[in-house]
Each structure stands twice: as structure tokens, then as C-alpha cells.
């Protein structure tokens, strides 16, 4: 490249700088573009923060101001599987992502105000445009999720408008790409990524505090009941029509299912005696199993003491420990995480800290990559590692695991989590479990039947 060619980029930089400093500034760097970017980003941040606070209010038992009816309902969007995936994967709710984007958009808009140097101008414009593009694509995804939920989220619509307004200012009112320094795209991309990571790290601790254990409407019902006398009628009154319909369908299936004798209690059953027994078959790597365990913990805290017993059972989705697979050598341990976690929990069932260790295993399930990871977590309680290892390698522990898997297969298990309520298979419908506990296990209770016939 000769001296003339080397001067071309420098000339472009000078041209951009000259345009930015001229008294007759063109529209791309007009006051309107700055005001539009700053205002839309600031409003977006405020709106996202408000939505996050509304979600916190719902988690604590209240109702969101944007939940106007069944159609205009932001709670239904917050209650989708996608929203749950965002929370479990990123450690923060969807509303936190909106705040993250809004703060980043505001940072780029402010950075654009300091445009004395052409290089900084190019970097700021590229970073701002990339941030606007990410926000626009996110709006498309969230709009699709809202459509799938069959709900119109008013606050989400306002979010879409503000993001699109920001994108319009970024792409229509700022300089064309050809006028920007050639390296500004790379630098803008790197700085956008750094900004994303920084804001994510700062917001994640707050996001973890708003993590729920399950569907919002059930959490609200549980929280409301925790501070009041618990009756089936009161619980029913706090449910939405769609949840009542779930209970009705589950009750009909429960009544139609044949009765079978209950199995002998295991050391992990808590409490040992109750009118309702829920046996949950889980796999440590099953995300829905993790959700179910958290909801069962909350359910037991809410219900009157002794009204429901929960008995952990195990169905690891790994052929290594299936009864049909070749048996392990005497004294050998399974290699896979799923089988190792099941055996470890079986061996911990008699320990005083079993419930705590089980909850910690499920909480850390995504980080359990090896058998050693399982052993390290399972042996940090009151059970010595040597004792745990000896139990996991024993024939008794394997026989118990095989018995659990065989029991589930007699009911036609097709995946985890799988539930038996008083010896009958039931779906993952915590509201029905709670209703049965409040009815003392009698699905034909007069109050239960009367409520199940109401709208």
C-alpha cells in the first residue's frame, strides 16, 4: 500500500471529524438523534426496572398492575417456559434483561455525546448500532413468546416501541457505515461484549434474589395461604380458571385410575405418616425435576404439618444403572453422574442433613460433570466420604435403585419427573397435590367435589 492509499482512511477520519464539528451539522449528528437515543434508552431502563419490581411483587404474593385480564396479562408471559429457561440459564428474569439492554443503550447514547475524536465517534456509532440490532432481534423473540402464550403484554408492547425507536435513531439518523473508520466495527463489537458482560455481572446477584420455584400463580397462592388459615375453599378461591380446570381433569383421572397397595416407606420419606403420600421419581440432570423439588419444598412449608408426605424415588436416565444392563463388578461405582447421584441420595436418606444435601445437589445439577463432582458435594455433610462410598458400592443400594426403577416402569413411566400420589400416577400439577392434601387425601370429599364442579 503506497502513501496515497494510506492517506485515504485518514482522510475519511478527518472528513467525519469535520462533519461533526461544522456549524451546519447534518441530520445524522443532529440534536434530534441525541435526544431520541437518550430519551428512548432512559425510558426503556425505567420501564424494565418497573417490570422487574412488579415481578418481585408477584413472587411475594401480589398481582402485577399489567395483569388486567386473561388477554391483557403480563404475568402469563412471565410464566412461560421461555421465561423460566432465561431465569434458570442466566440467573435473572426477562425483565432484568430489559434493564440490562436499557442501561447499555443509555451508556452508548451518552458515549456518543463525547465525539471530539473521529475514532471514538466511529466506535460509539458501531457499538450503538450493534446494541440496537440486538434489542430489535430480542423484541422479535419476545413477541413470538407472547403470541404463543396467547396473551398481550402491555408493558412488553411499550418495550418494543422504545427499542424500535432507539433502533430507528441508530440506523436512520446516524452516519452511514462507509463514513466510519474501518476498525470501529471490531472495536465497537468488543466494547459491546464487554459492556454486556459487565452489566450482566452487576445485575445477576439481584436476579438470583427474584428467582421463583414455579408458576407465578401457584407461588402467589402458596404465599397467600402461608399467612392465613388454610382450607380447600380458600385455596380454590385464589386459583385462576385454567388452574381449576387442571385440577378437575387431574381429579377425574385420579378417580379413574386403579388403586394399588402402597410400597413400604423408605428412610427418605418425610414425614413417615400422612394422609397423602407423593412419591417423586427424579433424575439429577432433569431440569423439571429441579423445579419439582423446589415446589415440593415450598408446598410442605405451606401445608399444615403432617398433611402430606414426600418420598424421593429415583429413575436415572442412564442405561449404566438400569436393571436390564450388565451388573457392575462387586465394589465398583457407576461412572455416570446420573447413576452416581441416585446412589448417593439413597445412601444419604437416613442422614439428618439429607434434605439439605439433596436440595444442594439439584441446585448444582448443571455443574455436576463427573462422578467426583457428585461425591464432593454429597460428602460435605455429616456422612463421612468413606461411609458414603462403601454404601454406594453395596448391593443393597443397587437393589434399592433397581426397585425404584422397576416400580416406576410398572406404571409406564415415560420420563422424569414422574409422580405417584397415594399409589396412583398423577401429573406435574402442584395445585392438585395441594388440593388433595387439604382434602386429607379424599378425592371424593364433599367439599372437593363441590368445588370441582364450580366454574
Quick one: 58 and 154 in the same domain? yes
CB 362 within 8 A of CB 338: no
Quick one: 76 and 111 in the same domain? yes
Selected residue with higher pLDDT from 123 and 155: 155
| Residue-averaged pLDDT of the chain | 79
Cβ atoms within 10 A of the Cβ of 29, count? 21
Q: How many domains does the chain have?
A: 2
Quick one: 344 and 297 in the same domain? yes
Residue-wise DSSP of 126-152: HHHHHHHHHHHHHHHHHHHHHHHTT-B
Quick one: 252 and 139 in the same domain? no
Pairing of the two strands 418-421 and 277-282? antiparallel
CATH of the domain at 123: 1.20.1440.130
* Domain coverage including residue 402: 216-452
**Is residue 3 predicted with pLDDT exceeding 50?**
no
Pairing of the two strands 418-421 and 309-314? unpaired
Residue 185 confidence (pLDDT): 59
Residue 453 confidence (pLDDT): 59
- Across the range 243-257, mean pLDDT stands at 89
pLDDT band at 24 (very low <50, low <70, confident <90, very high): very low
Residue-wise DSSP of 93-114: -HHHHHHHHHHHHHHHHHHHH-
Cβ atoms within 10 A of the Cβ of 183, count? 13
Residue 259 confidence (pLDDT): 86
User: What percent of the chain has a predicted confidence (pLDDT) above 70?
Assistant: 76
**Is residue 1 predicted with pLDDT exceeding 80?**
no
Residue 125 confidence (pLDDT): 78
Quick one: 126 and 226 in the same domain? no
Q: Tally the residues of the chain.
A: 455
pLDDT band at 175 (very low <50, low <70, confident <90, very high): low
**Is residue 83 predicted with pLDDT exceeding 90?**
no
Residue that terminates a domain, selected from 188, 209, 230: 209
CA distance 365 to 290: 8
Which strands, in side-by-side order, build the sheet including 277-282?
309-314, 277-282, 418-421, 424-426
Q: What crossing angle do the helices spanning 184-209 and 118-148 adopt, rounded to 10°?
A: 50
CATH of the domain at 398: 3.40.30.10
Quick one: 297 and 193 in the same domain? no
Q: Which residue has the cell 430519551?
A: 39
pLDDT band at 276 (very low <50, low <70, confident <90, very high): very high
Quick one: 117 and 201 in the same domain? yes
Q: Which residues contact 223 (CB under 8 A, 6 or more apart)?
A: 59, 60, 61
Residue 8's nearest CA partner among 177, 175, 182 is 182
CB 427 within 8 A of CB 248: no
Quick one: 250 and 269 in the same domain? yes
Quick one: 194 and 236 in the same domain? no
To the question of pTM greater than 0.85 for the whole model, the response is: no
Quick one: 170 and 311 in the same domain? no
CB 305 within 8 A of CB 273: no
Quick one: 260 and 138 in the same domain? no
Q: Helix-strand-coil percent breakdown of the chain, rounded to 5? A: 65, 5, 30
**Is residue 217 predicted with pLDDT exceeding 70?**
no
- Across the range 217-237, mean pLDDT stands at 62
Question: Per mean pLDDT, which of 149-163, 324-338, 344-358 is the most reliable?
Answer: 344-358
CB 83 within 8 A of CB 51: no
In degrees, rounded to 5, the angle at the alpha carbon of residue 161 between the alpha carbons of residues 160 and 162 is 95
275-284, 301-310, 343-352, 393-402: least confident range: 301-310
Residue that terminates a domain, selected from 162, 193, 209: 209
Burial status of residue 17 (CB atoms within 10 A of its CB: 0-12, 13-18, 19 or more) = middle
Burial status of residue 389 (CB atoms within 10 A of its CB: 0-12, 13-18, 19 or more) = middle
**Is residue 23 predicted with pLDDT exceeding 60?**
no
**168, 169, 174, 177 alpha-carbon torsion, rounded to 10°:** -30
Residue that terminates a domain, selected from 209, 234, 266: 209
Residue 112's nearest CA partner among 194, 175, 60, 49 is 175
CB 276 within 8 A of CB 436: yes
Residue 215 confidence (pLDDT): 54
Cβ atoms within 10 A of the Cβ of 285, count? 19
- Across the range 184-198, mean pLDDT stands at 65
Quick one: 185 and 305 in the same domain? no
Residue 67 confidence (pLDDT): 74
- Annotate 130-144 with b (16+ C-beta within 10 A) or e (fewer): bbbebbbebbeebee
- Across the range 267-274, mean pLDDT stands at 91
- Across the range 198-208, mean pLDDT stands at 67
Burial status of residue 264 (CB atoms within 10 A of its CB: 0-12, 13-18, 19 or more) = exposed
Residue 330 confidence (pLDDT): 79
CA distance 213 to 222: 11
Q: How far, in Å, are 126, 131, 183, 378 from residue 119 at the CA level?
A: 11, 18, 9, 55
**Is residue 85 predicted with pLDDT exceeding 70?**
yes
Selected residue with higher pLDDT from 320 and 224: 320
What would the grid cell of residue 257 be?
Answer: 385410575
CB 166 within 8 A of CB 107: no
Question: Per mean pLDDT, which of 72-86, 110-124, 176-190, 195-209 is the most reliable?
Answer: 72-86
380-433, pLDDT tens digit by residue?
Answer: 999 999 999 999 999 999 999 999 999 999 999 988 899 999 999 999 888 899
User: What percent of the chain has a predicted confidence (pLDDT) above 90?
Assistant: 29
Amino acid at each position: 500500500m503506497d502513501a496515497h492509499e494510506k492517506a485515504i482512511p485518514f482522510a475519511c477520519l478527518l472528513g467525519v471529524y469535520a462533519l461533526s464539528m461544522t456549524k451546519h451539522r447534518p441530520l445524522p449528528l443532529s440534536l434530534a438523534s441525541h435526544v431520541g437515543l437518550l430519551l428512548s434508552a432512559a425510558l426503556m431502563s425505567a420501564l424494565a426496572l418497573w417490570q422487574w419490581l412488579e415481578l418481585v411483587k408477584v413472587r411475594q404474593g401480589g398481582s402485577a398492575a399489567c395483569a388486567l385480564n386473561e388477554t391483557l396479562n403480563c404475568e402469563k408471559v412471565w410464566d412461560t417456559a421461555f421465561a423460566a429457561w432465561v431465569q434458570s440459564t442466566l440467573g435473572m428474569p426477562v425483565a432484568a434483561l430489559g434493564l440490562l439492554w436499557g442501561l447499555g443503550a443509555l451508556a452508548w447514547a451518552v458515549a456518543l455525546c463525547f465525539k471530539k475524536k473521529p475514532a471514538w465517534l466511529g466506535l460509539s456509532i458501531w457499538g450503538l448500532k450493534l446494541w440496537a440490532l440486538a434489542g430489535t432481534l430480542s423484541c422479535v423473540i419476545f413477541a413470538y413468546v407472547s403470541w404463543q402464550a396467547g396473551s398481550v403484554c402491555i408493558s412488553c408492547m411499550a418495550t418494543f416501541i422504545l427499542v424500535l425507536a432507539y433502533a430507528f435513531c441508530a440506523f436512520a439518523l446516524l452516519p452511514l457505515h462507509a463514513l466510519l473508520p474501518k476498525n470501529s466495527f471490531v472495536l465497537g463489537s468488543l466494547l459491546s461484549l464487554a459492556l454486556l458482560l459487565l452489566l450482566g455481572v452487576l445485575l445477576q446477584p439481584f436476579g438470583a434474589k427474584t428467582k421463583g420455584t414455579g408458576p407465578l400463580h401457584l407461588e402467589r397462592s402458596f404465599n397467600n395461604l402461608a399467612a392465613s388459615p388454610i382450607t380447600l375453599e380458600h385455596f380454590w378461591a385464589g386459583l385462576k380458571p385454567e388452574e381449576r380446570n387442571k385440577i378437575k381433569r387431574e381429579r377425574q383421572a385420579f378417580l379413574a385410575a386403579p388403586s394399588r397397595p402402597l410400597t413400604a416407606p423408605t428412610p427418605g420419606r418425610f414425614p413417615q405418616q400422612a394422609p397423602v403420600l407423593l412419591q417423586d421419581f427424579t433424575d439429577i440432570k432433569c431440569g423439571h425435576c429441579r423445579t419439582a423439588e423446589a415446589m415440593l419444598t415450598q408446598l410442605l412449608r405451606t401445608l399444615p404439618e403432617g398433611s402430606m408426605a414426600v418420598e424421593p424415588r429415583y429413575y436415572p436416565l442412564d442405561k449404566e444403572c438400569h436393571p436390564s444392563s450388565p451388573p457392575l463388578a462387586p465394589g465398583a461405582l457407576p461412572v455416570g453422574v446420573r447413576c452416581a447421584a441416585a446412589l448417593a441420595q439413597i445412601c444419604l436418606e437416613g442422614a439428618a442433613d439429607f434434605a439439605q444435601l439433596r436440595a444442594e445437589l439439584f441446585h448444582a445439577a448443571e455443574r455436576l460433570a463427573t462422578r467426583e463432582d457428585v461425591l464432593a458435594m454429597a460428602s460435605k455433610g455429616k456422612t463421612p466420604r468413606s461411609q458414603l462410598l462403601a454404601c454406594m458400592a453395596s448391593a443393597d443400594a443397587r437393589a434399592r435403585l433397581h426397585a425404584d426403577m422397576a416400580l416406576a416402569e410398572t406404571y409406564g413411566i415415560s420420563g422424569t419427573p414422574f409422580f405417584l400420589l397415594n399409589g396412583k400416577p398423577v401429573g406435574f400439577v402442584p395445585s392438585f397435590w395441594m388440593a388433595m392434601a387439604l382434602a386429607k387425601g379424599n378425592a371424593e370429599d364433599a367439599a372437593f367435589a363441590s368445588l370441582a364442579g364450580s366454574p
